[in-house]
Amino acid sequence: MSGQLHLHPAAAAGEVGYVPGSAAGEARRLLSPVRLGTLCLRNRVVMAPLTRQRSLQPGNRPHALNALYYQQRASAGMIIAEGAHISPEGQGFAWTPGIHDRAQAEGWRLVTEAVHARGGTLVLQLWHVGRISHRRLQPAAAAPLAPSAVRPDARCFVPGARDGVGEMVACDTPRGLDQSEIILLVEQFASAARLARDAGFDGVEIQAGNGFLLDQFLCARANQRRDGYGGSTPARLRIVIEVLDAVIAAIGDAGRVGIHLSPLGSMNDTAHHDPQHLFTSLVAAIDARRPAYLHLSGAHAEAVALIRQLRHDYSGAVIRAGGYDAVSAERDLAAGDIDAAVFGKPFISNPDLVERIETGAAWAIADDSSFYGGGADGYTTYPTLAETTAQTRERSADHVARP
Ligand SMILES: Cc1cc2nc3c(=O)[nH]c(=O)nc-3n(C[C@H](O)[C@H](O)[C@H](O)COP(=O)(O)O)c2cc1C
């Protein structure tokens, strides 16, 4: 993660790298509609939640630039908008947008209106980082919150001395939540869900993966509690189910609530020692609540067996992220392993990813130096195929016109 304000010369000059697309017509299933709970998607190409750290400061509010970025990608079957922290304490990365006050909800309204104007569907990822934070991001410079006071071997991103510049730093030692704070936390998830609904989102996704707060409760090394929220497997997964129940009640429709898990991911120092038992128990409890979908990610090759089993055990829709291209997504859809494919980096550099899949056009490769922080460059500046073609025509006309 670089902390500079980023220029994106390659994209601006139309010189980004490309990977070949699939042959047009090969992505039949990927382009077909699907229902996830109450959500009706016009295709199975889902945009992954992607933290881009470009909210308006101060206040961590989404603004017109974010609305344009999401509108450019509105042809996705569904957009899972980037993780939004549900409380000031839930933030672990500078400039990420929040969803805990009215001004932020008004900012998100710009985003939902822009995407709906193009006929898109979008949900918001509800995020609490837990111990993946630092005193410099916390109210009153307090210690970050966590299941237990166990410092992670992980880094977070704090603002630097100059505007728009930040730095990666080791996470601080957190403070373990007491029981009354756990009740408050569950209510904060519910309150954020209500704000998201009021802002016009079609639903929400609970972030229970990637080593953030809810995943920390699941992880025996991070969660050393013995008070009903730690110790046994049912105790470790209790808070995830309490949050799911509270968010479903807040939204008023389980079919508009998704949940993200990363069963074999090791991100942010949260490798699980008993993934098989833990995640089969958790998925059974989630299944009983009938949410819109289960979003799985962070699965490497050895994880395939567990992921397949979770898919088999779960009666609802399953969507998955991690290195998909049109061919592998179509293959997993055909095998019945997923109901929709989630694409991350390809959506950063291909706002018209769906159209590229339709036509079999090549995909632009994203420039990772502009992933996190900055302005429009490397964010809203990636051209669509039509814009690239027009630019190329203009350049060659210019060339011909010159003596
Ligand atoms: C820039 C960037 C930001 C991300 N932010 C989030 C996030 O906010 N929430 C989340 O669950 N995953 C996040 N991820 C992970 C992606 O959602 C996705 O799982 C991952 O990129 C793998 O998909 P891909 O290979 O298609 O990129 C992020 C990934 C990238 C590259």
Q: Give tens-digit pLDDT for 313-366.
A: 999 999 999 999 999 999 999 999 999 999 999 999 999 999 999 999 999 999
Is the bond leading into 20 cis (omega within 30 degrees of zero)? no
**Residue nearest (by alpha carbon) to ligand 1 atom 25:** 323
For ligand 1, mutation pick of 19, 50, 379 (most atoms within 8 Å of CB): 50
* CA 330 – ligand 1 centroid, Å: 20
Chain-wide mean pLDDT for the chain? 92
Instruction: Give CA–CA dist 119/132, Å, rounded.
Output: 36
Instruction: Give CA–CA dist 34/76, Å, rounded.
Output: 12
Q: Tell me the β-bridge partners of 38.
A: none
**Residue 221's Cα: distance from chain center in Å?**
24
Specify the amino acid at residue 310.
Answer: L
> What's this model's pTM, rounded to 2 decimal places?
0.94
CA atoms within 13 A on the CB side of 52: 31
Pocket lined around ligand 1, Cβ cut-off 6 Å: 48-51, 82-83, 125, 207, 210, 260, 297, 321-324, 343-346, 371
Any idea which of 14-28, 60-74, 97-111, 288-302 has the lowest mean pLDDT? 14-28
Above 80 in pLDDT, residue 284?
A: yes
Cα angle 57, 371, 347 (rounded to 5 degrees) comes to: 115
Instruction: Give CA–CA dist 218/216, Å, rounded.
Output: 5
User: In degrees rounded to 5, what are phi and psi of residue 353?
Assistant: -55, -40
Which positions ≥6 away from 145 have C-beta within 8 Å?
Answer: 89, 130, 131, 174, 175, 177, 181, 185, 213
Above 80 in pLDDT, residue 12?
A: no
Above 70 in pLDDT, residue 13?
A: no
* CA 397 – ligand 1 centroid, Å: 39
Q: pLDDT tens for residues 119-159? A: 999 999 999 999 999 999 999 999 999 999 999 999 999 98
Helices first, then strands: H and E counts in the chain: 12, 16
Residue 284 near residue 248, CB atoms below 8 Å: no
Q: pLDDT tens for residues 207-248? A: 999 999 999 999 999 999 999 999 999 999 999 999 999 999
Which positions ≥6 away from 292 have C-beta within 8 Å?
Answer: 36, 37, 38, 39, 203, 254, 255, 256, 257, 258, 316, 317
Above 90 in pLDDT, residue 264?
A: no
Which positions ≥6 away from 256 have C-beta within 8 Å?
Answer: 37, 38, 39, 123, 202, 203, 204, 292
